[in-house]
Structure formats: structure tokens, C-alpha cells
């Protein structure tokens, strides 16, 4: 099974298609150059005053206010409107300065909500009022075109804002869909890993025990038929248990076929039965539980860890006593499986060791598996606050 290792990226704030202070600066400077160029190229005549330095400064200042059209859109609107009023009060025609004002109004309607749009509309209206009050020409005749420009700027800004929000919502939905897909894939990988651990620990243990019992029965078949018959009975019992376990896992994989699988909740009796199966292979197993009761989750972890430790013991060593001890120490549950055998090398991490450590980790505990004086020891420490001694 392969799982994706692609990390789930944190969602980033969607950028507007026209966003970027560098782009705003380029636009503002370009419009300022055009405004100043038009003032120089077409000097004002009567009834307007001749072009002077103040007119050129204001002609550049109005467009330059667009630098803040996104970071502070009201500042841009106020600057563009103020440039119109100042130009009219100075006795010069506004000419190109109307364009930055409408562009700022458009930007306010794109990026803002109701309050920003209302404030921008008020500033634009003040700019128009100042133009009508101070212009030396015939500003009243320009009111129809001003109204048309106002409607175009506001409606275009509102439509662009709606489209932008739709694009942003679609992008957010796509990002959420990708996140959910990755989360579903992660959960699926976890569930597959859990089922793989169950198959390895339960069926792997049972098959190993059956193979050992069959080998013992074959070797003593002629000399000790009764023992061979007993071994065959143990094999049959273990096989039936393996089939039951397999059916339970299949019901988990296919809940629509055969009903709902009951969670595996082993008891101390199941632990004793497992030890008895190992004894049937000819190994001496000593089990001490101190009659400790544990919650179902910790009981499953204890049972599976002990099961895998016993499987490794009978697979890798032909003889020797196996001691299993389960006890409680305060709020911790201690499980120790000692295989008394000749010195063994350090274990090579495989599915069994990985599964045991993972089960201990999922319960908030830890596991050690290493050679010790007198054999090989598996020791698990699980925090079980609910464990009680009857």
C-alpha cells in the first residue's frame, strides 16, 4: 500500500487579480505622467487661469493618490477628489483629473463593503460639489457626463467585486475539497494500517502456532499418538479462532455484508487461552496477571503486544520458558514478556516490532524490546488511569 506524503498546505489568503502595491505604484505614476503631460501640452485659456507650478503639482498629486487604492482606498478617493477641488479653486480646468477620481471610486466598490462604498460615494460627491462650486467654466453642463461616469464606476466596481468574490469562493471551495480529500486519504491510510496490524498480529500469531503444533504432532505421531491427537485438536481450535477473527475483520471492511462487527475486547481469560495455545507447542509459559482489570482499548493493546511477543518467542527460539507478567503500578499498566533463551542479537525492526510500538504509542505509552541477561524482554508501559484491582 502506498500513501501520499504530500503535506497539507496551510490555506493562503487569495490575492485579488489586480492586487499588488508595485502595480498600484506603476499605475499611479503612469497616470500622473499623463496628467502632467496633458496640462503642459494643452495650456488653459479663458476663462481659466494660465498653467502654473501649483497646477502641475496638483495634476500629479491626484493620480499619485491611487498608490493607496487598495491598502487605504479612502485615502486614494480623498486625494483624487481633493485634487479636483484644489484645481477648480485655483482656476484651472480639471481635464484628466476626473479619471483618477472615478478609478478610485471603482476601486472602493471592488474592495470594500457597504461602509467603505458609502464613504467613497460621499467623498466623490464632495469632489463633484467642490468642482461645481469653484470651477470657472460651465460645470453645470458637465453634470450629465459626471453622473454617467459615477454610475459606470460604481456599477462596474460592484460587478467586479461580485465576480472576484465568486472566484475567491470557488478557490476556497476547491482548497477545502483538496484538504478534505487529503484528510480522507490520511484517515484511509490509518484505517488500512490498523487493519493490517490486526491481520498481522492475530492471524500471523495463529498460523505460527498452528504450524508449530502441526510440527510437534508430526514428530510424535508414532511414539505418542495421544499427544498428536491433542495437537490436532489444538490446531482445529486455533483454526476456528482464526476464521472468526477473519470474519470479524471482513465485516469491518464490508459493513453492508453480514452486519456490524463487534469491537475486539479481550479479557484475562483470552490471555490465558493464548498462553495455553503456546503451551500446546511444547513451550513452558508462565502467566501472572494479578487479576488487573483494564479498559477495552488498553486491553486490546496488552493482548496484541503479548500475542506478538509470544509469536516472536516461538518463532525465533526452539525452547526455553516464557514468562508473562501483567501488573498495575499507580496509574500505569506494566506488561513484561521475557523469553528465557540464549543471548540473541538486537532485533531487526519488522512488522511485529513496529506494530507493538505503534499500539503502545496510540495508548499514550511506550515499549521496549531488547536482549537482557537471561533472554529477550518485551516491556510495555501504558497509562491506564481506569485500571482497578478488584
- Asked if 108 contacts 157 with a C-beta cutoff of 8 angstroms, the reply is yes
pLDDT digits (tens, 9 = 90+) for 152-169: 999 999 999 888 888 888
CATH 3.30.565.10 domain residues, the chain: 283-390
Q: 40: Cβ–Cβ under 8 A, 6 or more apart, which residues?
A: 51, 56
pLDDT digits (tens, 9 = 90+) for 42-91: 877 888 888 888 889 999 999 999 999 888 999 999 999 999 999 999 88
In angstroms, the CA 197 to CA 297 distance is: 15
Q: What is the pLDDT of residue 253?
A: 64
Place of cell 490471555: 271
Q: What is the pLDDT of residue 291?
A: 77
In angstroms, the CA 221 to CA 219 distance is: 6
Q: What is the pLDDT of residue 298?
A: 85
Give percent of the chain with pLDDT exceeding 70: 85
Q: What angle do CA 338, 341, 345 make, to 5 degrees?
A: 95
pLDDT, mean of residues 168-182? 86
Distances (CA, A) of 161 to 25, 69, 74, 115: 21, 14, 17, 15
Q: What is the pLDDT of residue 17?
A: 42
With 0-12 CB in 10 A as exposed, 13-18 as middle and 19+ as buried, what is 328?
middle
Query: What phi and psi, each to the nearest 5 degrees, are found at residue 10?
Result: -70, 135
pLDDT digits (tens, 9 = 90+) for 120-137: 999 999 999 999 999 988
**Model confidence band, residue 389 (pLDDT cutoffs 50, 70, 90):** very low
In this structure, are strands 285-288 and 375-383 parallel, antiparallel, or unpaired?
unpaired
pLDDT digits (tens, 9 = 90+) for 183-227: 877 877 776 777 777 676 667 677 777 777 787 777 777 778 877
- Mean pLDDT rounded to a whole number for the chain: 82
Which cell numbers in the block locate residue 26?
Answer: 506603476
**Model confidence band, residue 119 (pLDDT cutoffs 50, 70, 90):** very high
Q: Lowest mean pLDDT: which of 9-18, 52-61, 287-296?
A: 9-18
Q: Lowest mean pLDDT: which of 89-103, 271-285, 287-301, 307-321?
A: 287-301
Q: CA nearest 152: which of 88, 206, 106?
A: 106
- Asked if 210 contacts 235 with a C-beta cutoff of 8 angstroms, the reply is yes
The stretches of the chain forming alpha helices (DSSP H) are: 21-41, 53-64, 73-89, 98-111, 114-134, 143-198, 204-219, 225-253, 268-279, 296-316, 351-362
> Is the pTM above the cut of 0.95?
no
283-390 in CATH: which number?
3.30.565.10
Amino acid at each position: 500500500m502506498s500513501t501520499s506524503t504530500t503535506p497539507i498546505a496551510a490555506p493562503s489568503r487569495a490575492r485579488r487579480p489586480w492586487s499588488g502595491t508595485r502595480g498600484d505604484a506603476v499605475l499611479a505614476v503612469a497616470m500622473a505622467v499623463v496628467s502632467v503631460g496633458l496640462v503642459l501640452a494643452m495650456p488653459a485659456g479663458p476663462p481659466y487661469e494660465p498653467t502654473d507650478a501649483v497646477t502641475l503639482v496638483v495634476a500629479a498629486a491626484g493620480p499619485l493618490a491611487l498608490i493607496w487604492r487598495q491598502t487605504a482606498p479612502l485615502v486614494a478617493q480623498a486625494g483624487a477628489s481633493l485634487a479636483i477641488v484644489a484645481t477648480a479653486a485655483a482656476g484651472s480646468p480639471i481635464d484628466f483629473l476626473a479619471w483618477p477620481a472615478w478609478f478610485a471610486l471603482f476601486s472602493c466598490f471592488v474592495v470594500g463593503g457597504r461602509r467603505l462604498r458609502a464613504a467613497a460615494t460621499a467623498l466623490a460627491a464632495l469632489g463633484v460639489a467642490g468642482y461645481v462650486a469653484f470651477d470657472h467654466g460651465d460645470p453645470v453642463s458637465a453634470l450629465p457626463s459626471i453622473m454617467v461616469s459615477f454610475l459606470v464606476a460604481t456599477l462596474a466596481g460592484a460587478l467586479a467585486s461580485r465576480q472576484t468574490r465568486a472566484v475567491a469562493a470557488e478557490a476556497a471551495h476547491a482548497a477545502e475539497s483538496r484538504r478534505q480529500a487529503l484528510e480522507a486519504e490520511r484517515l484511509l491510510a490509518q484505517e488500512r494500517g490498523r487493519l493490517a496490524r490486526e491481520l498481522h498480529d492475530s492471524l500471523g500469531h495463529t498460523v505460527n502456532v498452528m504450524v508449530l503444533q502441526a510440527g510437534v504432532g508430526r514428530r510424535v505421531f508414532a511414539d505418542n499418538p495421544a499427544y498428536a491427537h491433542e495437537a490436532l485438536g489444538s490446531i482445529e481450535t486455533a483454526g476456528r479462532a482464526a476464521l472468526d477473527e477473519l470474519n470479524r475483520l471482513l465485516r469491518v471492511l464490508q459493513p453492508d455484508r453480514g452486519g456490524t462487527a463487534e469491537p475486539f475486547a479481550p479479557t484475562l481469560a483470552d490471555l490465558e487461552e493464548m498462553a495455553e495455545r503456546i503451551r500446546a507447542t511444547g513451550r513452558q509459559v508462565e502467566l501472572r496477571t494479578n487479576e488487573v482489570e483494564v479498559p477495552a482499548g488498553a486491553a486490546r493493546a496488552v493482548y496484541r503486544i503479548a500475542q506478538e511477543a509470544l509469536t516472536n518467542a516461538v518463532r525465533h527460539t526452539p525452547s526455553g520458558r516464557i514468562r508473562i507478567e501483567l501488573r498495575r503500578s499507580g496509574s500505569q499498566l506494566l506488561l513484561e514478556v521475557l523469553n528465557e533463551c540464549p543471548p540473541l542479537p538486537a532485533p531487526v525492526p519488522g512488522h511485529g516490532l513496529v506494530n507493538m510500538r505503534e499500539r503502545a504509542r496510540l495508548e499514550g505509552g511506550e515499549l521496549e524490546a531488547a536482549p537482557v541477561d537471561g533472554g529477550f524482554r518485551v516491556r510495555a508501559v501504558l497509562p491506564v488511569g481506569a485500571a482497578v484491582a478488584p
